[in-house]
């Protein structure tokens, strides 16, 4: 009998990889944050915005959008995560309009703290629930949608 070979990458694994990448970017930025000017702090915000926004859009549209009817426990966590995506967008917008370095630094620090807490809940709670709910075949299909949207080639 031929072994069952599962190919491709599932969407949750791909999103987890992005968490790792965003956490590395934040660590890099944090090391220099205390000495940054307003302009540099806003440049950091712009770089974080690019990756956080792309990540939140894939989660909102591909993962959360594929869930349909949900048990109340999953729905509650999902709504909280969706709300935090909005909160991060609001912080980034506030950072863009800042005129004082002290305030911009505090906003950037708050954004990083929120992103870390948010990722931790997704990793510890939400992704496991979603994985059980959606199943591995559908998650690999969603992984291939993600790859197409990002211009990636997944192994066949
Ligand atoms: Fe998220
Ligand atoms: Fe995430």
CA torsion 24-86-92-51 (nearest 10°) is 40
> CA nearest 111: which of 94, 93, 92?
92
Q: Which domain holds residue 111?
A: 11-150
- Provide the token pair at 7: 């190919």
1 C-alpha vs ligand 2 centroid, how far in Å? Answer: 39
Q: Does the pLDDT of residue 3 top 80, yes or no?
A: no
pLDDT tens sequence across 108-156: 999 999 999 999 999 999 999 899 888 999 999 999 999 999 999 888 7
CA of 108 relative to ligand 1 center, distance in Å: 17
CA of 28 to the centre of ligand 1 (A): 21
> In Å, how far are 42, 48, 51 from 100, measured between CA atoms?
11, 19, 24
**Residue 2 lies inside a defined structural domain of this protein:** no
Q: What is the pTM of this model?
A: 0.91
Q: Give a yes or no: residue 1 inside a domain.
A: no
What's the 7 CA to ligand 1 centre distance in angstroms? 25
Residues with CB under 5 A from ligand 2 (ion): 122
Q: Report CA Rg, the chain.
A: 18
The pLDDT-based confidence of 2 (bands split at 50, 70, 90) is: low
Which string of DSSP letters, residue by residue, matches 12-51? HHHHHHHHHHHHHHHHHHHHHHTT--HHHHHHHHHHHHHH
Distance (Å, whole) CA 80 – CA 77: 5
Ligand 2: centre distance to CA 98 (Å): 26
Ligand nearest to the CA of 23: 2
Is 3 within the bounds of a domain?
Answer: no
CATH classification at residue 22? 1.20.120.520
Domain count, the chain: 1
Confidence category of residue 1, pLDDT binned at 50, 70, 90 = low
Q: How many Å apart are CA 36 and CA 60, to the nearest integer?
A: 32
Residue 145 belongs to a domain: yes
Considering every ligand atom shown, identify the ligand nearest to the alpha carbon of residue 18 and give its number.
2
């Amino acid at each position: 009998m031929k072994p069952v070979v599962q190919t491709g990458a599932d969407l949750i694994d791909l999103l987890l990889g992005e968490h790792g990448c965003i956490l590395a970017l934040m660590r890099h930025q944090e090391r220099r944050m205390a000495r940054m000017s307003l302009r540099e702090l806003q440049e950091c915000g712009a770089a974080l915005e690019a990756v956080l926004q792309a990540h939140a859009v894939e989660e909102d549209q591909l993962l959360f959008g594929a869930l349909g009817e949900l048990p109340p426990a999953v729905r509650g966590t999902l709504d909280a995560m969706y709300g935090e995506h909005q909160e991060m967008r609001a912080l980034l917008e506030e950072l863009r309009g800042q005129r004082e370095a002290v305030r911009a630094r505090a906003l950037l620090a708050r954004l990083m703290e929120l992103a870390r807490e948010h990722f931790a809940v997704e990793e510890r709670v939400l992704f496991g629930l979603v994985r059980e709910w959606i199943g591995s075949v559908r998650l690999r299909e969603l992984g291939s949608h993600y790859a197409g949207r990002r211009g990636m080639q997944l192994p066949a």
